[in-house]
Structure 1
């Protein structure tokens, strides 16, 4: 949905589709497709979930060609992962010497999480890079407030705001850090003015990314729908600030940016079920990301972290508290914010931006370790790289060796942590290798018909599964054929029928094959 939304932004100048995230990554990924003459008709601004309608129109119009178009679009996003490696090395070089800056750079470059999302047309890795960049530029500015560092900080902040709306929290967060430094007499009050100018520059860059659409709309005129910003009366919503003194204040942000934040908040409030440690919960758990990080990263990483923390505790070294505040505090704030939003605990990728901070901690701590342990650092880094590379090209399904690897991942997490459409090629492989004449039904996470993408399998679940026929809301096969279930779908509550049966075969990637022979009276 990101890619067709990006095409739509370019062609119609409308940023309504996928407004929960700013448009930068979408418009970048759409660039190569513009040169191929890809066209999407205007849909109007009142269509609900416009990005879904656009994706449907895109697939219906171009069919199997969208697979190659997706490949081209992803090429324009990969540089953020490469830039992240370079930036991680540059920052580490400011407080580490010798070969130690290579440690966080290698941990980033070969992280299974970075390898997974660095090649997708989503903002996850770009979000981590932009956060790291703006934190570094803030540190450089705070340490030496000059015109150049102020401009660099403002531009980095503008980039971050165009990648992820969550980074709007950095404006007040950095301001609080600045005020604390003023109170502690580490800097002068006049630098507050310099900081303000950097923020104005950042907001100007953000506005330009939206072609200055919907700027300075009064707070009371936005069509909010979250309970935090609106009052619901039946099916209608009223802006909480309408008719109030605050309601007349112009908001210096693009309208779709503001509405995207409101829509995201609304989704958090509605809540979604959470799958964790083999169980479904009505909502998320505050410890979701702690467990996700443990099972989604190689064991070697956590051994390195333990050595680093132990070394720091034993050596009690002096710290650059400005660097810690500039890089560590935003990462911690993100982790706490994500953990507290229990309405949508489904994706480990949401806390991907904290990884560089962890990598810096590991490199710094291990550099303080006794000499006899330092050699072990290179061994552990090699083990980390080996564990990650061994799962290529299925790094999206990486799970720690401690939990049995990818084959056991479904016992711990679901959703994009297992498969986000990347395993469709495994279905294709089965179609190619299978000599069976049975009808194939693929139960996978994609919303689109696989046949429209050139597959032999049918994937529209309502064509072959019924729901709501008993208290468990089970979905049962109603036609004879071969049923392929990806791990993501296998763990879903409605497929308890399949969970209670032994599959006829377990294929690559943990896909389960069930051969069903349904009497004609039931078909």
Structure 2
């Protein structure tokens, strides 16, 4: 692997790394105690508890069990009611609505929902912390100490990572296991050994057990392994011939080509055998994660069930428009407006260095570029337009790749050091300014976080996490007669929020009298509906009226008295 400077960290470097790792874990801990359940957590965490308590994988089969099992583990030490026995659980049908109803009952009926969520989220944070360490280690092996710290800094203070690291969801956990697999695979190709092969295969199984998107790792693995075998075989023979001084003769050229072809053939066969062994090692891991299922096709059936409960006529939202089927450019736009500008600029600098640099270590860079681009394209072509969170598996590879700007080539220039320092300061300011509402972050390209609903909806702006903040606001600012447009799968009344419910299609001109609390998701979709009905006319009140205030970057508060907006 590349290493442009000593890989060892100085005492100051270790101290900085320690501070960054503590921040990576502690900041989300401080945030999540004031965040209610997000949409998927209501189904994921209770389902995981049933897996561990009964050994039956029945609920929420449209996602593999690993992340849910990890997050539910602390719940085994709490005094919780299962609400369903093993016999009944086995007889449950696959109606998607059941898992959501069960999840709501489990969290809100007889239990302390916030306590359950807190302890369920701690393992998710530990997975994020593990990913932060892995990002730091990998970048350090490639680019050295400064790069290790830079990559860790980018990870620790990325708003999207911070927002989703604290949730019982698959995105960050899968990012960890996918990155771990590719890191171990690269080390195996660097120094092949039975131990390396076994570790790679087991980590592939864990990634497959984290999210069905992991199937994209299989073609990535095959391509990277075959290309590595092809290139390494060619280089090895060429170096052997050169070291023996057999150059500049026609006979030597023919001999070299012959030896290369033979070496390539052998290495290609070995490479294909290695990928087969890795996949065979992954299967027992899946079998274990599914608690020894009798159905050998349970994983494939779950893969087929992905998005089964999604409405095929659902209208996706982007930049003020609603459209069935969504947009291929959705994730590119979402990433560009939800990534801090300093991070984008540092990535641009890293890309410039990449094209200006040598290709001597192309395989190390391929292990960063291929996964990032493959996941990006894969999600753009196949995933629902529901949030930048789908791209989180790309982030570790982007951070490691970006960290190359901290190499000695850049660090030796005072001007560049100053520019990087300014960008990192800006990056940190962005992180602090949006605290504690990192899920709703938007950069200056979008006009800031207040403009978020003009660009995106769903988990980009509000995923149901703001109920506790809304309760706290109502305690300080009581409202006798108010309406609530809530986006989520929880129960607002659990927090004493008793406003009359309505959806985003119900807010048409003129608006109802009284106080309106609208989820940022509802604001986005109501804006699109009114734009299509009224254009920029006065009836389109939501586009012309700033809210009285915004609670937790999640709820827009409008005051309406006798048809007049206040």
TM-score between both structures, scaled by the size of structure 1: 0.82
Give 1:302 deviation, angstroms: 1.4
Give 1:389 deviation, angstroms: 2.5
Give 1:515 deviation, angstroms: 4.2
Q: Is 2:361 aligned against 1:361?
A: no
Residue 358 of structure 2 aligns with which residue? 317
- CA distance in 2 between counterparts of 1:152 and 1:466 reads 49
Alignment equivalent of 2:121, drawn from 70, 74, 86: 74
Q: 3-state DSSP class of the match of 2:56? A: coil
Q: 3-state DSSP class of the match of 2:143? A: coil
Give 1:35 deviation, angstroms: 1.8
Residue 346 of structure 1 aligns with which residue? 386
Alignment equivalent of 2:277, drawn from 194, 197, 210: 197
Say whether the 8 Å CA contact 1:449–1:458 is kept in structure 2. Answer: no
Q: 3-state DSSP class of the match of 1:95? A: helix
Give 1:475 deviation, angstroms: 6.2
Q: Is 2:552 aligned against 1:506?
A: no
Residue 125 of structure 1 aligns with which residue? 172
Q: 1:266 to 1:33 in 2, by over 3 A?
A: closer
- CA distance in 1 between counterparts of 2:210 and 2:317 reads 28
Deviations 1:139-184 (A, max 9, x none): 1111211011112111211211111111123223312332344455
- CA distance in 2 between counterparts of 1:128 and 1:327 reads 13
Give 1:14 deviation, angstroms: 2.5
Residue 489 of structure 1 aligns with which residue? 522
Structure 2 residues without counterparts, runs of 5 or longer: 1-42, 235-263, 531-539
Structure 2 counterparts to residues 213-232 of structure 1, below 5 A: 213-217=293-297
Q: 1:359 to 1:478 in 2, by over 3 A?
A: closer
Say whether the 8 Å CA contact 1:486–1:512 is kept in structure 2. Answer: yes
Q: Is 2:431 aligned against 1:384?
A: no
Q: 3-state DSSP class of the match of 1:507? A: strand
Count of matched residue pairs: 468
Give 1:25 deviation, angstroms: 1.3
Say whether the 8 Å CA contact 2:127–2:172 is kept in structure 1. Answer: yes
Give 1:457 deviation, angstroms: 2.5
Q: Which has the higher helix share?
A: 2
Q: Is 2:470 aligned against 1:430?
A: no
Deviations 1:48-72 (A, max 9, x none): 1132121132145226x11221112
Say whether the 8 Å CA contact 2:468–2:495 is kept in structure 1. Answer: no
Deviations 1:341-372 (A, max 9, x none): 26x11210001111122222222145344713
Greater Cα offset, 32-41 or 73-82:
32-41
- CA distance in 1 between counterparts of 2:543 and 2:227 reads 58
Q: Is 2:66 aligned against 1:24?
A: yes
Q: 1:379 to 1:503 in 2, by over 3 A?
A: closer
Say whether the 8 Å CA contact 2:58–2:92 is kept in structure 1. Answer: yes
Deviations 1:421-474 (A, max 9, x none): 2221231122111244x23332111234311x132323643xxx796xxxxx76
Q: 3-state DSSP class of the match of 2:83? A: coil
- CA distance in 2 between counterparts of 1:23 and 1:476 reads 45
Give 1:88 deviation, angstroms: 0.7
Structure 2 counterparts to residues 235-246 of structure 1, below 5 A: none
Say whether the 8 Å CA contact 1:107–1:385 is kept in structure 2. Answer: no
- CA distance in 2 between counterparts of 1:60 and 1:388 reads 32
- CA distance in 2 between counterparts of 1:479 and 1:377 reads 51
- Structure with bigger RCO (C-alpha 8 Å, 6+ apart): 2
- Larger Rg: 1 or 2? 2
Q: Is 2:292 aligned against 1:212?
A: yes
Greater Cα offset, 169-178 or 206-215:
169-178
Say whether the 8 Å CA contact 1:440–1:456 is kept in structure 2. Answer: no
Structure 2 counterparts to residues 50-449 of structure 1, below 5 A: 50-62=98-110, 65-184=112-231, 185=233, 188=267, 189-217=269-297, 255=298, 257-264=299-306, 266=308, 270=312, 272-313=314-355, 315-341=356-382, 344-365=384-405, 367=407, 368-369=409-410, 371=413, 372-436=415-479, 438-449=480-491
- CA distance in 1 between counterparts of 2:328 and 2:101 reads 34
Q: Is 2:39 aligned against 1:6?
A: no
TM-score between both structures, scaled by the size of structure 2: 0.76
Structure 1 residues without counterparts, runs of 5 or longer: 218-254, 468-472
Structure 2 counterparts to residues 30-41 of structure 1, below 5 A: 30-38=72-80, 39-41=82-84
Q: 3-state DSSP class of the match of 2:327? A: coil
Say whether the 8 Å CA contact 1:295–1:403 is kept in structure 2. Answer: yes
Deviations 1:372-424 (A, max 9, x none): 31332233123212211321210111111333321111111111000112221
Deviations 1:69-123 (A, max 9, x none): 1112111210111111111111111121242221111101111111001111111
